Chain A
Amino acid sequence: MPGKPRASLPLLAAGMAFCLAPILAALPAPAQPAAPAVAPPPATSPADGAALDVFVTEVMGTVQASRDDGKSWTPAKTGLHLSGGASFRTGFRSSVTCGIAPDQSFTLESLSTVRVEEAVKKGGRFKTDLVMKYGATNYSIETGLEEHVTTIRTPGATLFVRGTVVRVTDRVGFAPTAESFTGRAVYKTAHGTTTVGSKGGGYARVAADEGDAAQTALSQTVVDPNVALARTASEQRLIAQQVSLGALVSFDYRANITVVKDSGPLSDAQLLSSLPGTLDFVLRWTGNANLNLIVYDQPVTAQDIAAGTARAPTLTPPASGVSPVNLGQIGITLGFQGGFQPKELLFPGYGLNISPTGGVIPYDNRGGPSGGMEIAYWPGTPPQGLFGVAMIHQSGPAVDYTINAFLNGSPLNINYSNSPTGIPVMSTQELKGTATGKISDGLGGGVVYSPPNPYLENLTPQGNGETLGYVPNPATPSAAHAGKPAKAGNNSKAVSASATPLAPAPTAMPVRGR
């Protein structure tokens, strides 16, 4: 039997990991958005009609408080108790955090002034009205307790809050802004009324001169500085899609690629409806780590087809009734031409994100609290042959990941191993693992036939997609698995929609073990 387990792919993959590690290690880690502090609520809820206690919980720098509408000011100190009508003002590099019983808090930032116009319980609801003359205020409600109606008014805008963490700025000369860290608020400006954030959603920001969160987010994305970096419509759509997930988008001039942070992964259903290419490879992960997608390929040549055709009748079982491209894939896989020798590589950045055959990785997702997603795709006609797909854990804690491949929207099989020896090779439509960042864990990934190769894939047993070190942990279901299952593809093995987290990447990924 001519086909033997081959080490060329794992060696290549491991080599790439070592070569890229110093470059990748230099990339900046994603910044974490800071949520405002929340004051501890008192043990009992105030009676209906009662004025709410406004108490100072933290003072930094120079802060003054007034009980007489700004006629006289006294230094604000931790523990100071006030009520509706109180005003605060801050100096340089100063802030004051106040609690409003039972479960609200606000932080006034430096060079700002705010008046607690009203803080009462009326009709079973907590009604709070803050008037900020200028500056910036963070406000938060501990959700799930009692109903709140909170208004933060500034000269340029009004924000209605019901259960969220928000930040409002209004500085003369600049457009007022509202940011929602969690939850949904209604923002009213001279341009109209819009919402900022969503229930259960992530970070969103609205600038009064932009109109709404989507416009603000899009205007914050980087316009490429020259024609060579100009984006295609599909790339622009992908970037906008990440922005719609709450991502922050910037451009890394050193790596020469758009950088996305804090987007989180798309669900299966969202992914299937938005695949940008004819051939797509998708890496998704949960948790605050930075993973990178690598795709490498060897297109089938006439020599591969000739070698496969010549040896096909001698195989067990004989390879008959398959296409010439499939014969070429057989020729490469079984080593008739020296094994899998990738001819091009896609990697997010450093000039490797566009391949000679038209493959693209449009952005480098550097993760965030809810994970991330990277995609490599070929628009138009992709090369036909063998594709290696793998991930590198660049930084951050161990996280669960999934890898999918699609041709014309249908899932492709990924051939992988969950054994340190690389044998046996199994097939799945969703490869799952846990990226730990340890070099000893190697790359997580596998080999994909595009177009599908029925002869080789029928010889490969179906696995559950779980790579080395898989440890079930149902307490932390993967967001990437939370969506609907993908539609069935070119064979009966549908994309998994299990809610199981994943395992370390395989150290070896032989192309074929028979």
Chain B
Amino acid sequence: MAFNGRSLLIAGSRVLVAAVLAIAGCQTARVADPLTRSMGGSDPDQQMDFLHTLADRPIASNDEAFHGLVLFMQGNDPAADYPARVAWLRARNMLPAGFAESADHAVERGTLAVALVRALSIKGGLTMSVLGPTQRYAVRELQYLDIYPASSPNQTFKGSEFLSILSKAEEYQKNHGTQAAPAVPS
């Protein structure tokens, strides 16, 4: 069997297509039209629309999750956009080290877990006390406290799951009296 230039070109293009598909398949899901664009405000009606519309969405994005988290913590969201929300959370050490995801990426459970253990002032066990709230141990701690279902840090959320977790976090707050949002470290 002889190899000519055409057959090599076809084989090469097939490999390229397979590689592109493989890479695309491994990418984090993206939310085309985050709710924060139309319902990102803090007034009660917008909050209600945001929360209960999010419950019907198949995936929650970073921006949506962070907006919901800030609303949960302090009742209103002072940030006007995603970079401002990230800055607000980062100022309170509520994001994992090296977090640099875009607004429309589906939020990962590990990312939200780190923010929640900070928001709820959860100290965790020995490992979390020593290493701090890494994504892996924050998720495990929240699972232990029945705030998270059985999860992996890299999993994402349905909108309704995100709302369930905020409900569970609220129950935890009721039982443990951690109402205030974490202060900005001086």
- Chain B interface residue count, Cβ-Cβ cutoff 8 angstroms: 23
24 A-B pairs in the complex with CB atoms less than 8 angstroms apart:
A62-B44, A62-B47, A73-B45, A73-B48, A75-B44, A89-B48, A89-B52, A92-B75, A92-B166, A111-B51, A111-B167, A113-B52, A133-B55, A134-B160, A134-B163, A135-B167, A171-B168, A172-B158, A172-B161, A173-B149, A173-B160, A174-B149, A174-B164, A174-B168
Cβ of A46 within 8 Å of any chain B Cβ, yes or no, is: no
Contact partners of B47 in chain A: CB under 8 A: 62, 91-92
List A contacts of B71 (CB < 8 A). Answer: 92
Q: How far apart sit A135 and B52, CA to CA, in the bound complex (Å)?
A: 11
- Chain B interface mostly: helix
The yes or no answer to B72 lying at the interface (CB within 8 A) is yes
- What 9 A-B pairs have minimum CB-CB distances, sorted nearest first? A171-B164, A172-B160, A173-B149, A173-B161, A111-B167, A62-B44, A172-B161, A172-B164, A173-B164
CA distance A171 to B149 in the complex (A): 10
Whether B165 and A173, one on each chain, are in contact in the complex, defined by CB atoms closer than 8 angstroms, is yes
Asked if B170 lies at the interface with its beta carbon under 8 angstroms from chain A, I say yes
CB distance from A105 to the nearest CB of B (A): 21
Q: How many A-B residue pairs have CB under 8 A?
A: 60
The CA of A478 and the CA of B47, in the complex, are separated in Å by 53
A243 to chain B, nearest CB (A): 19
One digit per residue, 1 when the CB lies within 8 angstroms of any chain A CB and 0 when it does not, for chain B 143-167 equals 0001001000000001011011111
Contact, CB under 8 Å: A62 / B149: no
1/0 per residue, CB under 8 A from B, across A43-84: the answer is: 000000000000000000010100000000101000000000
CB-CB contacts of A277-301 with B at 8 A, as 1s and 0s?
0000000000000000000000000
With A92-B72, A172-B160, A174-B164 as given contacts, are A111 and B48 in contact (CB-CB < 8 Å)?
A: no
With contacts A111-B167, A134-B163 taken as known, whether A91 is within 8 angstroms of B51 at the C-beta atoms is: yes
CB distance from B165 to the nearest CB of A (A): 7
* B170 near A93: Cβ-Cβ < 8 Å: yes
Q: Which residues of A contact B48 (CB under 8 A)?
A: 62, 64, 73, 89, 91
Bound Cα distance from A91 to B68, whole angstroms: 11
Given A92-B72, A92-B166; 6 other pairs, CB 8 A cutoff: A64-B48, A73-B49, A89-B52, A111-B167, A173-B165, A174-B146
- Residues of chain A contacted by B72 (CB below 8 angstroms): 92
Task: List residues of chain A with CB within 8 A of the CB of B149.
Answer: 173-174
Please state if B165 and A91 are interface contacts (CB–CB under 8 Å).
no
How many angstroms between the C-alpha atoms of A199 and B3 in the bound complex? Answer: 84
Chain B neighbourhood of A453, CB < 8 A: none
CA distance A73 to B158 in the complex (A): 24
Interface residue A110 (Cβ < 8 Å from any Cβ of B)? yes
Which residues of A sit under 8 angstroms from B163, Cβ to Cβ? Answer: 111, 134, 171-172
B49's nearest neighbour on chain A, judged by CB, is: A73
Which A residues lie within 8 Å of B49 (CB)? Answer: 73
B184 to chain A: closest CB distance in Å? 22
Q: In the complex the two chains form, what is the Cα distance from A75 to B45 in whole Å?
A: 8
Using A62-B44, A62-B47, A92-B75 as known contacts, say yes or no to A171 and B167 having CB atoms under 8 A apart: yes
- Cβ-closest chain A residue relative to B174: A93
Which residues 49-102 in B have Cβ within 8 Å of A in the complex?
49, 51-52, 55, 71-72, 75
Q: Which residues of B have CB within 8 Å of A92? A: 47, 51, 71-72, 75, 166, 170
Cα distance, A132 to B40, chains bound together (Å): 26
Q: How far is the CB of A65 from chain B (nearest CB, A)?
A: 11
Using a CB-CB cutoff of 8 Å, which residues 76-121 of chain A contact chain B?
Answer: 89, 91-93, 109-113
A136 at interface, CB cutoff 8 A: yes
Alpha-carbon distance between A111 and B71 when the two chains are bound, in angstroms: 12
What are the residues of chain A within 8 A of B161 when measuring CB–CB? 172-173
Contact A110 B170 (CB under 8 A): yes
Which chain A residue lies CB-closest to B151? A173
What mask results when residues 1 to 44 of chain B are scored 1 for a CB within 8 Å of chain A, else 0?
00000000000000000000000000000000000000000001
Closest Cβ of chain B: how far from A3's Cβ, in Å?
58
Taking the nearest CB of chain B, how far is it from the CB of A4, in angstroms?
57
Q: Are B167 and A91 in contact (CB under 8 A)?
A: no
- Kindly supply a per-residue 1/0 record for chain A positions 171-212, scoring 1 wherever the CB is within 8 Å of any chain B CB and 0 otherwise: 111100000000000000000000000000000000000000
Complex: how many Å from CA A173 to CA B170? 16
Q: Tell me the minimal C-beta distance from A201 to chain B in angstroms.
A: 25
Which residue of chain A is the closest to B44 with respect to CB atoms?
Answer: A62
- The chain A residue with its CB closest to the CB of B159 is A172
Chain B residues closer than 8 Å to A73, beta-carbon distance: 45, 48-49
Question: Smallest Cβ distance from A296 to chain B, in angstroms?
Answer: 38
Distance of B56 from chain A, by nearest CB (Å) = 9
Is the CB–CB distance between B165 and A136 below 8 Å? no
Closest Cβ of chain A to B157, distance in Å, is 8
- Residue interface bits B119-143, CB-to-A below 8 A is 1, else 0: 0000000000000000000000000
| Cα–Cα, bound, A110→B75 (Å) | 14
- List chain A residues, Cβ under 8 A from B55: 113, 133-134
The interface residues of chain B lying within 8 Å CB-to-CB of A171 are 163-164, 167-168
**If A92-B71, A172-B158 touch, does A136 touch B167 (CB 8 Å cutoff)?**
yes
Alpha-carbon distance A110/B47, docked complex (angstroms): 13
The answer to whether B164 touches A134, judged by C-beta atoms less than 8 angstroms apart, is: yes
CA distance A92 to B51 in the complex (A): 9
Chain B residues with Cβ below 8 Å from A64 are: 45, 48
How far, in whole Å, are A172 and B51 apart by their CA atoms in the complex?
14
What's the least CB distance linking A86 to chain B, in Å?
A: 16
What residues of B have a CB within 8 angstroms of the CB of A89 in the complex? Answer: 48, 52
Complex CA–CA separation, A379 to B160 (angstroms): 53
Alpha-carbon gap, A134 to B55, bound state (A): 9
Q: Which residues of B contact A136 (CB under 8 A)?
A: 167
